[in-house]
Structure 1
Amino acid sequence: MPIRTLVWGENVHEQKNKVVADNYPEGMHNQIARLLAKDPNISVKSTTLQAPEHGCTEAALAETDVLIWWGHAAHGQVQDEVVERVAKHVWQGMGLIVLHSGHFSKIFKRLMGSPCALNWREAGERERLWVVNPGHPIAKGLPAHFELEMEEMYGEPFSVPEPLETVFVSWFQGGEVFRSGLTYRRGTGSIFYFRPGHETYPTYHDETVGQVLRNAVNWAHNPNRFATITDAPNVPVDKALEKIEERGPRLHQHGEAGFR
């Protein structure tokens, strides 16, 4: 089966900024979806902040193998209930790819458990991305490095947890460097953070960026869901693998749920 991928876009700047609208007349989310659709192994849909429940209903997420998230100006408008729902699906095995300014999204900070802060500058600088993990599936088919002529600078320190793997490191004209491709696992879900994607520049029209995103979707895909990973069952004495006798005082009654 194709990898069912949902592209989530904030869709705010496209409505308010002419430069962004000119870059992405059908919305950034739809341009990202267009890049992904070049892979016949990916089936792609898109949704936005403005959709009911931000397009991340329980039914929609149940039919999503990999979720891609781009946000910037309206992180605070994302409902906490939706954030927790997305987190649950990641824990259960849904892949998550967070792009550019999505580092400050509620869902990324929720799953990282850290500030996710960084240095930045909006000056249209050249970005050179070095592939520092050439054997990684996300780097498949890429050159040793590639460049984006105009991008927003992100600089270290990046206050995220130590990643499982670093795939890309960026250099900018002003001299800063940044860990721009990081992988994580939360529960049974795989997460990839990819730095490029400032909305006033045509980053998502770049074919190499498209290859990274297609590779990332294939990497993040987990064909299985582990729905019970968030359960905390109270195992009865008579269900223990070895025979035991109950002894000592007890806080919970038999079969009673634990405190959360």
Structure 2
Amino acid sequence: MKIELTGKTAVVTGSSSGIGLAIASGLAECGARTIVNGRKQDAVDSAIERIKSRVPNADVLGIACDLGTLSGVEAVVKEAPETDILVNNMGFFGPGDILSTADADWERYFQVNVMSGVRMTRAYLAGMMKRRWGRIVFISSESGVAIPPDMLAYGFTKTAQLSISRGVAKFAANSGVTVNSVLPGPTLSEGALEMVSATAKAEGKTSEQVLNDFVVKTRGSSIIRRATTTEEVANMVVYVCSPQASATTGAALRVEGGIVDSIS
């Protein structure tokens, strides 16, 4: 199966590094005109260079802005008023239980992880439906199903994405637009590797080894017994964005190595 996206435009939020960068690279490799987003211009420029080193003929545009704000969303839409593919990847994570997470932290999680995707979807969905083709993907997490008590606000936002994705898919019924969620588990992204770097140094291990140990110790139901790679997550997303995935919509697709202990 060859995925061909030539002639399509794809917007990938939060794509200057990690899973988002892997997704943007995968879409560009399939021929899509790909719009990379991050908060800082130097990070966006670096991401474009990394994509072009992998895909020399890639058609890539960078837009630096904070999509956790309405003005940031408006800036992207001004530069790219239409898109065929929208990947709502932007988000952040961190520790925090019910007692330690302040109101301001809850609000920031909500604005960045949830409202960015709501606003971007609202900006592009009508055009997709009018053109009778479109793909929208929310990058959720296994933490949206197996809520971590020590990352409660993060888990809450990932559950919210599942609800929003399913509801938008039903709203767009019979329009040619599909809307899905993809649920990674612990992933070997730059952010995750940096988060455990101090532990890795103290234990005399690589950050990858520490993350893999983390999966085994804290995600006992994992079947692959390791963290996933950003490319493994991106492969699922690229497929969901393809013409071949036309009958997949309203779904929560897991790329977490079997952590969620369910057959459905």
Short-chain TM bin: 0.3 to 0.5
| TM-score between the two structures when normalised by the length of structure 2 | 0.34
Q: For the pair shown, which has the larger CA radius of gyration, 1 or 2?
A: 1
| TM-score between the two structures when normalised by the length of structure 1 | 0.35
